[in-house]
Structure 1
Amino acid sequence: MKMYMKFLAVGCTALMLSGAAYAAGGWNEGNEEQDEALHLKPNHEGGIETYEVCSACHQLNGWGLEDGTFPQLAGQHAVVTIKQLADIRAKNRDNPTMYPFALPREIGGAQALADVAAYIEKLPMNPNNGKGPGKDLELGEKLYKDNCVRCHGERGEGKPDKFYPLIQGQHYNYLLRQFEWIRDGKRRNANPDMVKQIEGFSDKDMVAVMDYVSRLTPPKEKLADPDWVNPDFDW
């Protein structure tokens, strides 16, 4: 509860950081903290403690919000979460809302990244993620199979050994926003292969393929019951 009170006091005010001031970073060149976190043994209790900070936006279940303001984190590959957190902290990925809450003074160092990433990976996923409009699913399926399967897999399961994220079960509005930012060069830590692959996508193409992706469901063993409540925060 103390973390919620701290969050309310600080608020979700975006930190006004200029993208020009950020150090340029590669897609996955890594940094010292990322490399360290990837080789640490995660601690479950530490993961719970760290995730309490994250839960103020991403919700106690890790399911985010259907409107896409905050993505579902539950089930995400631990290596992907470590990479994204390390990139945000190293200013290789622009996320001014999340940045102040991801700093070491808020959640800890490399061990905290390892702990929370492992904890998030084991959270059961939302069975009712936000879906797209459902108008051009045939087009979306074709675009996905022609352009996305090689990296993200047939069912959006990703490839943790290559840091390709799991995208199945993700909220449509979040998927759409990130796809647009990657296509338009606004997400600096995006895989350059993906940027090149989707540079010719029209807005119609973008909506269709993300609509299709939003309907890629995780396997049953990864899904929670719709009314599941995270017992780690049963106050």
Structure 2
Amino acid sequence: MKIKPVQLLALVLFGIGGGCWLVAETPAAPAVASTQSVDGKVIFQTVCAQCHGSAGEGKPELKSPSIAGMPSWYVNTQFANLREGRRGHDAADPQSFMMAAVAKALQPEQIKAVVAHVEQMPMKVPVGKDREMANTNPQEGMRLFQERCMECHRYNASGEMAFGSPPLIGRQGWYLEEQLKKFKAGKRGAVKNDVNGAKMVQMTTLFIEDEQMLRDVVAYIMTLNPESKEQQQIIEGSPFESAGR
């Protein structure tokens, strides 16, 4: 019997017996519905919103990041990494593992459509627990950011297509912290041909000495997020944002 991609996805996520076998401490992800649509909005609401939220705001209980407004060049690269095994190959990283299954289940034209839709979604500014970083020193984080991160991610963390560096604003603090830990531990970016991931592995390994330093730099990045809708509109209309489209 030939198994369809959407059936394979269900097996990967929930097992033949219907019980999710992702890492025990990670909350079980909701069942991922399938669709034959090539409408980006329909695909997002059917497949992506269950984990990333209907507005792309992310869900802390699932450890899923905010993706609203992410530039298409970056999202396309991540889909390629997931489909080709540079990300999501390790079951010990359940979120990326699940995303790899989703990426492989979608058809190329569906990926193109949903990526375009994600880019057009208004960026969600992290607030509350998504933004707060307790017991940190953002001023110390600023020093590391300006010395090691700013060249690629730009002074305002808006990202740069030329370097393959995504915008860091709009992402939750806990998510950025977790990704830096994964790079530092070699759980992300260590696979052959992940050029930009390798840069992050090198940076975190050589220049982030301990967890306090890691959290301090994330705390500083959180201060770069806009405080108001007016500031957000300025960032959304910036040359950095338009260059990625």
Q: Please, what TM-score do these two structures have when normalized by structure 1?
A: 0.71
In structure 2, which of residues 209, 213, 220 is the aligned counterpart of residue 205 of structure 1? 213
Partner of 2:116: 118
In structure 2, which of residues 51, 68, 71 is the aligned counterpart of residue 74 of structure 1? 68
Change (3 A) 1:65 1:214: farther
Partner of 1:57: 51
* Alignment of 1:13 onto 2:20: yes
* Alignment of 1:171 onto 2:172: yes
- Compute the displacement of 1:67 (Å): 5.8
Is the 8 Å Cα contact of residues 71 and 119 (structure 2) preserved in structure 1? yes
Letter of the 1:73 counterpart: I
* Alignment of 1:86 onto 2:80: yes
Letter of the 1:196 counterpart: Q
In structure 1, which of residues 218, 221, 227 is the aligned counterpart of residue 233 of structure 2? 221
Letter of the 2:67 counterpart: L
Measure, in 2, the Cα distance between the counterparts of 1:166 and 1:57.
20
After superposition, the C-alpha distances for 1:154-188 in whole angstroms (9 at most, x for unaligned) are 11111123321111121011100100111121103
Is the 8 Å Cα contact of residues 124 and 223 (structure 1) preserved in structure 2? no
Q: Please, which runs of 5 or more residues in structure 2 have no aligned partner?
A: 1-5, 24-37, 89-95, 237-245
Identity of aligned residues (%): 22
Measure, in 1, the Cα distance between the counterparts of 2:61 and 2:222.
13
Measure, in 1, the Cα distance between the counterparts of 2:165 and 2:235.
20
* Alignment of 1:146 onto 2:147: yes
After superposition, the C-alpha distances for 1:113-145 in whole angstroms (9 at most, x for unaligned) are 221111111111223341122631110111111
Change (3 A) 1:118 1:58: same
Is the 8 Å Cα contact of residues 62 and 74 (structure 1) preserved in structure 2? yes
Measure, in 2, the Cα distance between the counterparts of 1:14 and 1:91.
20
- Compute the displacement of 1:198 (Å): 2.3
- Compute the displacement of 1:100 (Å): 2.3
Q: Please, which runs of 5 or more residues in structure 1 have no aligned partner?
A: 17-44, 225-235
- Compute the displacement of 1:58 (Å): 0.2
Letter of the 2:144 counterpart: L
> Between Structure 1 and Structure 2, how many residues are aligned?
188
Change (3 A) 1:214 1:68: farther
Change (3 A) 1:134 1:155: farther
Change (3 A) 1:149 1:172: same
Letter of the 2:217 counterpart: V
Local SS of the residue matching 1:56: helix
Is the 8 Å Cα contact of residues 143 and 209 (structure 1) preserved in structure 2? yes
Is the 8 Å Cα contact of residues 125 and 171 (structure 2) preserved in structure 1? no
The Cα RMSD (Å) is 2.9
Is the 8 Å Cα contact of residues 173 and 222 (structure 2) preserved in structure 1? yes
Superposed, 1:91-110 pairs within 5 Å as: 91-94=85-88, 95-104=96-105, 107-108=106-107, 110=108
Is the 8 Å Cα contact of residues 51 and 62 (structure 2) preserved in structure 1? no
Measure, in 2, the Cα distance between the counterparts of 1:96 and 1:194.
20
